Copies of this chain bind each other. A is one copy, B any other.
Amino acid sequence: MYKFTPPFQNPSGSPIRELFKYLSEPGMISFAGGYPASDLFDVEGLQTATERAYKTPVRCLQYAPTDGIPELKQQLIALMAQRGVECANDELVVTTGSQQGLDLLLRVLVNAGDVVLTEQPAYPATLQALKLQQAWIVTVPVDAHGLDVDRLSNLLSSGAVTAPKLLYTVPTFANPTGATLSEERRIALLKLAVKYEFLIIEDDPYGDLRFAGEKVPSILSLASQVDGARDWVVHFASLSKIVAPGLRIGWTVAPKEIARRCVIAKQTVDLCSTPWTQATAAEYLADGALQRHLPRITAMYKRKSDALCNELRAQFDERLEFHEPEGGMFVWARIDGVDASTLLTRAIENKVIFVPGKAFFADKVDSCTLRLSFAAPGVDDIQEGAKRLKRAYDELRAVLAPSVQ
C-alpha cells in the first residue's frame, strides 16, 4: 500500500458534506446545506441562454482560453462596473466556481509556514484550503458588524502577528455568520492592508442577495478611496448563488501580476473552466436575465429568512441568540449551555439538521453555536424545522438537567 505523508497523512472530508447522508432520509428538513434554492433556478432563462450559446457549437465544445472565453469576460467586466468596480481584461480570471479562485490564489501566494489571517468563524473549505497549503492560520474574531478590525489593528501594531501574507474575509452576508462589515471598517481594513502590506481576500458570493437594509460597497470598490489599496485587494465572485452552481462559474479580480500567475497555475490545474457553461453564462448575462431574475430570489429569501427568524423567536424566546440577516442565506445562532453537536444528534432523531458551529472555527471553538441556512427549504418546512429544533432542544435539556425542568 502507498504510504501517505503530510499534508495528506490524515485528511478528513468536509464536515458539512458529512451531513449530506441525512438528506436522503424521508421527511428530513435541512438547514445544513450551503446550497441555493433549487426551485428558484431560472430553468427557462438558462435553457434559452444555452440554446443561443450552442448556435456557435465549437465555442462550447473546444478548449477555451485559460482565463475565460472573451464573451463571458466582457459580461463579467460589465457586471463589476455595475457593482462600482472598474477592471481591466487582464485583471479578471474566470474560474471553476470561486472555490477554485481561492485554491489558485493560495497556490500562487502561500508557502508552508506562511502566516495568513482569517475571520473567525469562517467558511470551512477556506480553512481546509489553507491547511492544504500548510499555512499558519491566525484568526480574527467577527461580531455583528463583521470582522473586528480594531482587534486586527492591535494584533498588527503590537507585533503579536507579523508579516501576514493575506487576510481572508466574506464581508457581506458572511458564511457562517450572515454579518456584513460596515463601510467604516472596510476603509479601516484597507488602510491596514496598505500599511502592513497584506492582501485582503474579499470573497463575495452573496453580495447581490440583499433583501433588507442599505447596500454597502464591496471592499474592492472602496479601494479607490484609499491610496495604493487597489494593489492589496483580491476579489472573488460567483454565479453559484445568484444563477446556478451547476454552471461552475466564478471569477477573480486581482492585481495584474497576481491574475497572471493564477492563470499560469490554472493551465496546470484544469486548462480551462467548462467553455459550454461559460458561453451559456455569457448569453444569460448579455440578455439582462440576471437583473430580471435577482428580485425573484431576494424576495423569496426574505420570506424564508423572516419565517425562520420569526419561528425561532416564537419557539426559543431568549434561549437562542441570533441577528436577523439583511441578505445572504444564513442565520448564525447561539444556544447557551448546549453543545450544538449533541443537539444535532437529537435533531436528527427529530428529522431536522443544521451545521454545528465548531466546523467554522480554526481554534477557540464556541461549541454552543450553529449555522442555519434558510435558502433551500420551503417556508412551511422552515417553520416546521424550527419547531423540531425546539423539540430536540427540549429533549436534550430534559436529559442534561432533569431536575431543572
A residues apposed to B, CB below 8 Å: 1-2, 4-6, 8, 11-14, 17, 35-36, 38, 41, 43, 46-47, 50, 54, 57-58, 60-64, 66, 96-97, 99-100, 103, 107-109, 111-112, 125, 128-129, 132, 197, 199, 231-232, 240, 244-248, 255, 257-258, 261, 263-265, 267-277, 280
Contact = CB atoms under 8 A, between A and B. Distances in A.
A264 B13 contact: yes
Q: How many copies does the complex hold?
A: 2
Contacts of A107: 8, 132
Given A13-B264, A245-B275, 4 more contacts: A41-B58, A103-B269, A103-B270, A276-B277
A17 B267 contact: yes
Q: Is chain A's binding surface mostly helix, strand, loop or mixed?
A: helix
Contacts of A4: 108-109, 257, 261
Given A66-B17, A107-B132, A247 B265 contact: no
Best-surrounded residue of A6, A60, A61, A245 (most CB of chain B within 10 A): A61
Contacts of A109: 2, 4, 8
A129 to B, nearest CB: 5
Contacts of A64: 246
A258 B11 CA distance: 11
Nearest to A199: B2
A269 B273 CA distance: 13
B269 A100 contact: yes
A62 B38 contact: yes
B128 A267 contact: yes
A64 to B, nearest CB: 7
A8 B265 contact: yes
Contacts of A129: 268
Contacts of A125: 267-268, 271
A248 B269 contact: no
A363 to B, nearest CB: 19
A274 B13 CA distance: 20
Contacts of A199: 2
